[in-house]
Amino acid sequence: MKKINNDTWYIGDVAITGRAVLAPMAGVSDIAYRLLAKEYGAALVCTEMVSAMGIKYENEHTKDLLFMEAAEHPVSMQIFGSDPEAIGLAAKTVERAGADIVDINMGCPVKKIVSSGDGSALMKTPDLAVRVAESAVKAVTIPVTVKLRLGWDEAHKNVVDMAKRMESVGVAAIAVHGRTREQMYSGSADWSYIKAVKEAVSVPVLGNGDVVDPLSANAMLEETGCDAVLVGRGAQGNPWIFNRINHYLATGEIIQEPSADEKLTMLLRHFHLLCHYKGESLAAREIRTHAGWYIKGLPEAAKWRNRINMVHTAESFEAAIGEYRRDITKN
């Protein structure tokens, strides 16, 4: 392998040390998981996407999403919307909240988002997308970044032109998911467009799509020349992936996957963080999805996933995990 270092690089004036970044994911990259990802080697953590209109109208849930801890920094906070004025206001709010970077989501493929002209729908309206980005750039002193897809569909892959236009209005870095909106998350990511964007702009480029382990992270960095990899689904129930990528890039050695015991211990930590930040009742509901990822591939995972889905308190969750741990140890 070609040696790829974990040296410091920059988005604007924000120093980033390492090449593995936690991607923004709704329902995943909340404060609890960001803290775990950071502890386990994420060079930069990105928040769940926050609605620019929600910020404008001071939605209470939106306010909760703006909270960050000092230990997370550097933090990129992602906003979404297609109204330039609202995006400018949201960017200012994000800056005041203490984010190091404001990121604009132009890649989310979910119907609820694109039906309002937001997310990857902006790939269909590049002139509006440029005005949205420019509004944010003019509103704040921190760096503004954007996350793009290849285009709306196979016939309209306009990411290279979009990236150049984003750079021209002052965007400080560009993340590219190697799929179209039409693909959603199916098929394989086409990394060749990430390479094309990297060759077309002078700002840092972050590659996203199908990075699931140290080998795929290294392959993307080598094949595309991108500055960092954005790890999304590969990080679900897997905060260890960041240190494993970092170690492989530095040494060429693969750190083994965590054991069943380590996975259950981390699941408990994740749950306790959720309890701390969101309260026991909400934590008991939200941990269910995460638990499915943590225990995937472990013995009798389906049975225990169903059991975990029935718990409503910290006491019952801890009891279930303790029982599962004893079962695995016996077998």
Give which of 268, 301, 271 is closest to 284, Cα–Cα. 271
307 and 264 belong to one structural domain: yes
Q: Same domain for 286 and 228?
A: no
pLDDT at 4: 62
How is 113-164 classified by DSSP, letter by letter? HHTTT-GGGGGG-HHHHHHHHHHHHHH-SS-EEEEE-S-SSTT---HHHHHH
Q: Which residue range forms the structural domain that includes residue 300?
A: 260-330
Mean pLDDT, rounded, for 47-61: 88
The pLDDT score that the predictor gives to residue 313 is 94
Q: Do 87 and 118 contact (CB within 8 A), yes or no?
A: no
Count the neighbouring beta carbons within 10 Å of the beta carbon of residue 131. Answer: 16
Confirm if 75 and 100 have CB atoms less than 8 A apart: yes
Instruction: Check 46, 108, 226, 275 and give the catalytic one.
Output: 108
255 neighbors 244 (Cβ within 8 angstroms): yes
Whether 136 and 104 have beta carbons less than 8 Å apart is answered as: yes
- Under the banding of pLDDT at 50, 70 and 90, the label for residue 330 is confident
User: How many Cβ atoms are within 10 Å of 286's Cβ, its own excluded?
Assistant: 18
pLDDT, tens digit (0-9, with 9 covering 90-100), for 161-216? 999 999 999 999 999 999 999 999 998 999 999 999 999 999 999 999 999 999 99
Question: Quick count: other Cβ atoms within 10 Å of Cβ 61?
Answer: 9
> Percent of the chain beyond pLDDT 70?
98
| Residues 6 or more apart in contact with residue 163 via CB below 8 angstroms | 148, 174, 176, 197, 200, 201, 205
Give the three-class secondary structure for 32.
Answer: helix
Q: Say which residue the tokens 């693969």 belong to.
A: 254
| Domain match, 299 and 225 both | no
Do 184 and 242 lie in a common domain?
yes
On average, the pLDDT of the chain sits at 95
Which of 230, 251, 272 represents a domain boundary (last residue)?
251
Q: Of 115, 110, 170, 113, nearest to 142 (Cα)? A: 170
CATH number of 207's domain: 3.20.20.70
- For the cut 80, the answer to whether the pLDDT of residue 3 exceeds it is no
Do 304 and 245 sit in the same domain of this protein? no
In this structure, the answer to whether residues 245 and 266 fall within a common structural domain is no
CA separation (Å) from 31 to 19, 161, 275, 308? 21, 34, 11, 22
Phi, psi of 300, rounded to the nearest 5 degrees: 50, 40
Spatial contact of 180 and 167, defined as CB atoms under 8 Å apart:
no
Q: Scanning the structure block, which residue is given the tokens 């119907």?
A: 111
Angle between helices 260-278 and 314-330 (to 10 degrees): 180
Q: What is the pLDDT of residues 98-115, one digit of tens each?
A: 999 999 999 999 999 999
- The answer to whether residue 1 sits within a structural domain is no
| Domain final residue, candidates 210, 231, 251 | 251
- Banded pLDDT at 63 (limits 50, 70, 90): confident
The domain total for the chain is 2
Is residue 226 flagged as an active site residue? no
